[in-house]
Amino acid sequence: MSAIPEDELRSLVRRGRVHRRVYADPGIFALEMERIFARSWLYVAHESQLRKPGAFLRSRLGTEEVIVARGSDGAVHVLANRCAHRGARLCVVERGTAERFACPYHAWSFRLDGTLEAVPHPSSYGKSLDIDDAANHLARAPRVASYRGFLFASLVPDGPPLDEHLGPLCAAIDNLIDRAPDGEVEIAGGGFRVAYRGNWKFHQENANDTIHPGIVHESSVEAGRQAALRDDAPDGNQTKLQLQSNGFTRREWDSLGLVGFDSGHAFMGGFYADGVLSPGADDPVSTAYRQCLVAAHGETRAAEILAVDTFNNLIFPNVSLNAQYQQIRVVHPIAPDRSVVHAQCFRLKGAPEPMFERAVHFLSTLNSPASMIFADDVEIFDRCSAGLADAHGGDWVNVARGIDSDAVRAEGGRASSGASELPMRAQFTAWLAYMTAGSMTAGSNP
């Protein structure tokens, strides 16, 4: 597996450029799964989805499918969705409540913590089956941790604790929760899973690439601009404004700030200076919501919370969080040229219900398979994937835009103007660190 020497890996990431193999080479992808996705903390679920013992859902750790279940002891377990006996997929419903997971093949049944509870006709197995042997239990992620309700798992037993991994991006989760007058959020409203033909990194790189929207999304920007604002719009003109929002002039994009960290995390600042997502929005929904937040926290604190304008908060390797949209997106790697984006939204507890309806609408407009926005991103990912599969078109992919203006930031990380590819470079700094960190002891690897 790890037959790619460290020198060779280092040669793939140069100043301002990366080798096309980082996107197109199946060997690199396999190594990413081993060294990034099996080692890093990966978001698996939100605690609001697993309120009671027995609640479970299917999720993913990279290419691996897992069951996330709340055990009878209240602890959350992340289990391989594969029977320990003959390997059959154990759970085929997306979510639910269970007392145990029983395999449909020979009826081995497992407790919510993955341990083997019973098998039918045990005498037929004789001494060959030790029911207490961990080899007969569901493989379990050795580390599961929650940051304020956001559940992450890691397939290795050792490594930095979750809050250290999240580092400065804890603030993004904090701000989402702070926006709930009751100080609590819940995932609700369903969601979308949209596949694209392209490497998982494309989605993360694209999120804070501020030059692309005016070009890739030109057709939907113009469609939004040409539509009239109307008093009776069932969506409060939200679709129109959302389509338009990608139509900043280059000077406006320049005025945004980008921040990237060596840990691979990154965010954009100041995306919504006006409109319903701005701190001063005075539409009825925003006004009623702000009153709730003021009632909960007072005028000063409420203003501070709403003034946080970081956008597309990328948590390396595969999470994107937007407090303003009340939205989380996870990009799951499936193959070097196939990824699935899973997008969901949050209800801010204590906020008027129209705030949640707005989040539902944002998600539908942006992340639906029929989205007028995301469809064009998917098309570009397809085209990058097709182009980079060609071996003779040149080896290098350019990520140098703005490289000479990246500046060290007093609070940590690096900062640049909005027109920079700084976030991509930050992601590749982390990528190379993970990829060259050598072989570590694998945990109980589902």
Partner 1 sequence: MTDAAALLSAVEAFLYREARLLDAGAFEDWRGLFAEDGLYWIPSEPGQNDPTTTVSILREDKEMLAMRVRRLGHPRAYVLEPRPRTVHAVSNVEIVELADADGLCRVASALTVHEYRAGDRAVRAARCEHRLRPAGDTFHIVLKRVDLIDCDAVHDTVISIPL
Residues that bind partner 1 (CB under 8 A): 188-195, 216, 218-220, 222-224, 226-227, 230, 233-235, 239-240, 243, 340, 345, 353, 356-357, 360-361, 363-364, 368-372, 374-376, 378-380, 383
* Number of other CB atoms surrounding residue 304 within 10 Å: 14
Residue 301: which H helix or E strand, with range?
helix 299-307
199: its two tokens:
């490497």
Q: Between 117 and 357, name the residue whose CB sits nearer to partner 1.
A: 357
Q: Which amino acid belongs to residue 300? A: T
From first CA to last CA, the distance across the chain in angstroms is 17
The minimum distance between CB 45 and partner 1, in angstroms, equals 17
Q: What kind and span of H or E run contains 58?
A: strand 55-61
Residue nearer to partner 1 on the CB measure, 21 or 347:
347
| Spatial contact of 81 and 58, defined as CB atoms under 8 Å apart | yes
Q: Smallest distance from the beta carbon of 368 to partner 1, in angstroms? A: 5
Q: How far is the CB of 121 from partner 1 (least distance, A)?
A: 37
Strand 109-110: give its sheet, edge to edge: 101-102, 109-110, 116-118
- Comparing CB distances to partner 1, the nearer of 231 and 411 is 231
Q: How far apart are CB 418 and partner 1 at their closest, in Å?
A: 22
Write the Ramachandran bin of 306: left for phi over 0, alpha for psi from -120 to 50, otherwise beta.
alpha
Give the nearer residue to partner 1 in terms of CB position, either 11 or 226: 226
Cite the DSSP H helix spans in 179-297. 200-207, 212-216, 218-226, 238-244, 250-255, 284-297
Q: Which is nearer to partner 1, 234 or 438 (CB)?
A: 234
Q: Closest approach of Cβ 158 to partner 1, in Å?
A: 33
Q: Which two tokens stand for residue 244?
A: 């338009």
Nearer residue to partner 1 within complex by CB, 215 or 295: 215
426, with CB counted inside 10 A (0-12, 13-18, 19+), is buried
For residue 389, which of 144, 24, 120 has the smallest C-alpha distance?
24
Compute the least distance from the CB of residue 393 to partner 1, in Å. 19
Q: For residue 59, list its beta bridge partners.
A: 66
CB of 189 to partner 1, least distance (A): 5
Q: How far is the CB of 400 from partner 1 (least distance, A)?
A: 24
DSSP lists the bridge partners of residue 45 as: 151
Smaller CB separation from partner 1, 264 or 336:
336
Question: Would you say 286 or 371 has its CB closer to partner 1?
Answer: 371
Q: Between residues 24 and 243, which has the closer beta carbon with respect to partner 1? A: 243
**Rounded-to-integer distance, Cα 365 and Cα 234, Å:** 14
Residue with tokens 């929002």: 245
CA dist., res. 299 & res. 412, Å (int): 29
Compute the least distance from the CB of residue 435 to partner 1, in Å. 28
